[in-house]
Amino acid sequence: MKFKINDRVKWESGAGRNHEVEKIGTIVAIVPAGVDFQTIEGALQDKHRFRRAYGGGMPRDHESYAVLGAPSGAPAYATKRLYWPRVSLLEKTS
């Protein structure tokens, strides 16, 4: 599935833990195939206020998305985090 900037999405992540955490956010950047996420993250720091949630990783061989969001149920005033979820986990929300 393809997404656009400003699409609202949700996904679940567990990072190897015994429970899944639902996260909700907005797509803020499209990461082209082969591009290092840290390059995208640096460019976004001028446009958005966020905490870093992802430590890095290998460039992906497909288009992916930078998502500014928070765990479901977090207070509205909470500082958002920048995530780089797997595309297969993303689901568009209204």
Residue 44 pLDDT: 81
Give 86's Cβ-side CA count (13 Å radius). 6
Question: Residue 34 pLDDT > 90, yes or no?
Answer: yes
Domain ranges for the chain: 8-92
pTM: 0.83
Q: Which of residues 51 and 70 earns the better pLDDT score? A: 70
Angle at 6 between CA 53 and CA 17, to 5 degrees: 30
Angle at 89 between CA 83 and CA 91, to 5 degrees: 95
Q: Which of residues 71 and 15 earns the better pLDDT score? A: 71
